[in-house]
Structure 1
Amino acid sequence: MAVLVDNEEGLALPIEAAEISQIVEAALSACGVTRPTDVSVGIVTDERMRELNRTWRGIDAPTDVLSFECDSPFDDTLPAGEPVELGDVILAPAQIERQAPAFGGTPADEFRLMLVHGTLHLLGFDHIDEGGAQEMEALELEILRGLAHARGDDADAVRIGPTTRHIDD
């Protein structure tokens, strides 16, 4: 699996680029992705995120994460052995940092959650209805707790949500 992190603006991040790759790989693994997969992670300013959100969702405000999916790693019609271009996860670290206290976590915690959340969107998960939101949140929590354990942190201390519902969109 290849994860390309694009931070052209050189924005400050709450976690290292190597951890970004580990998080994406953990989410893909948790979902049973075994074939070679390429994922792009873009780091953008609030202004750029606002433009993207306005263009693609019709919402004229910055947001924390957007996902743009391409191909599915589960599509049997794609040539075997060739990497699947899964898509792009776009993150706005300033927005993520601002909202972290409201969710009771640190900017690093919230960044990790939004990266897992965006990656799950690339794999077809959504939170349009309550059942989908609960499924997505349970998987996010499982992945984040596994990552915390791997870092040597207390996995039981990881808390999320309900963060995947877009009530005001």
Structure 2
Amino acid sequence: MSVLIDCAEGVSPLLTEEEVRSICAHVLAAEGVDRPVEVSLNWVDDEEMHSLNAEWRGIDKVTDVLSFECDAPTIEDLPAGEPVELGDIILAPVQIARQAPGFGNDPADECRLMLVHGLLHLLGYDHIEDEEAEVMEAREDELLRELAVQRGADPAAVAVGPTTRHEHD
């Protein structure tokens, strides 16, 4: 697995590169992805996220995370050892920190949720329909509790609200 991380000038990431890679590795393993993959993660400011959200989703305001899917890990056209480019995850740490208290999280926990959320999108999860949202939220909750145990935190303290339905958009 390769995670390419870029941070816009003046932007302070909410997670270390080591933790980002660890979260990605855990989610991919838990989802049964056993071939080499590449993920791109970009930390951006509110202005850039606002612009991307308006361009790609038609929503003229800042959001927390965007995912741009490329190839599925199940693609059969590539040789077995060749990496699959899963896609791009864009995170807006200022927006994530701003919204965290409303969801009962601190900024780092909210960011972990947004990263897991973005990865699940790259792996084909969606939340347009209520049934899909329930499946995605349950998977986010499960993964975040596993990650909490890994870092020695209390898994019962994990808070996953109704974020996948984008009720705040």
Instruction: Report the equivalent of 2:132.
Output: 132
What is the distance in 2 between the residues matched to 1:101 and 1:122? Answer: 26
Amino acid at match of 2:157: A
Instruction: Report the equivalent of 1:51.
Output: 51
What is the distance in 2 between the residues matched to 1:10 and 1:112? Answer: 21
Instruction: Report the equivalent of 1:149.
Output: 149
Instruction: Report the equivalent of 1:63.
Output: 63
What is the distance in 2 between the residues matched to 1:124 and 1:3? Answer: 18
Instruction: Report the equivalent of 1:113.
Output: 113
What is the distance in 1 between the residues matched to 2:150 and 2:50? Answer: 34
Query: What are the superposed Cα offsets for residues 62-96 of structure 1, whole Å, 9 maximum, x if unpaired?
Result: 10000001011011222211000000000000000
Q: How many angstroms does 1:168 deviate by?
A: 5.7
Unaligned runs of 5+ in 1: none
Q: How does 1:1-169 map to 2 (within 5 A)?
A: 1-167=1-167, 169=169
Give the structure-2-normalised TM-score: 0.96
SS in 2 for 1:148: helix
Amino acid at match of 1:57: R
Q: How many angstroms does 1:10 deviate by?
A: 4.4
Call closer, same or farther: CA 1:12–1:137 in 2, change over 3 Å.
same
SS in 1 for 2:27: helix
What is the distance in 2 between the residues matched to 1:117 and 1:20? Answer: 13
What is the distance in 2 between the residues matched to 1:124 and 1:112? Answer: 19
SS in 1 for 2:86: strand
Amino acid at match of 1:117: H
What is the aligned-residue identity percentage? Answer: 60
SS in 2 for 1:51: helix
SS in 2 for 1:86: strand
Unaligned runs of 5+ in 2: none
What is the distance in 1 between the residues matched to 2:25 and 2:10? Answer: 23
Aligned alpha-carbon RMSD (Å): 1.1
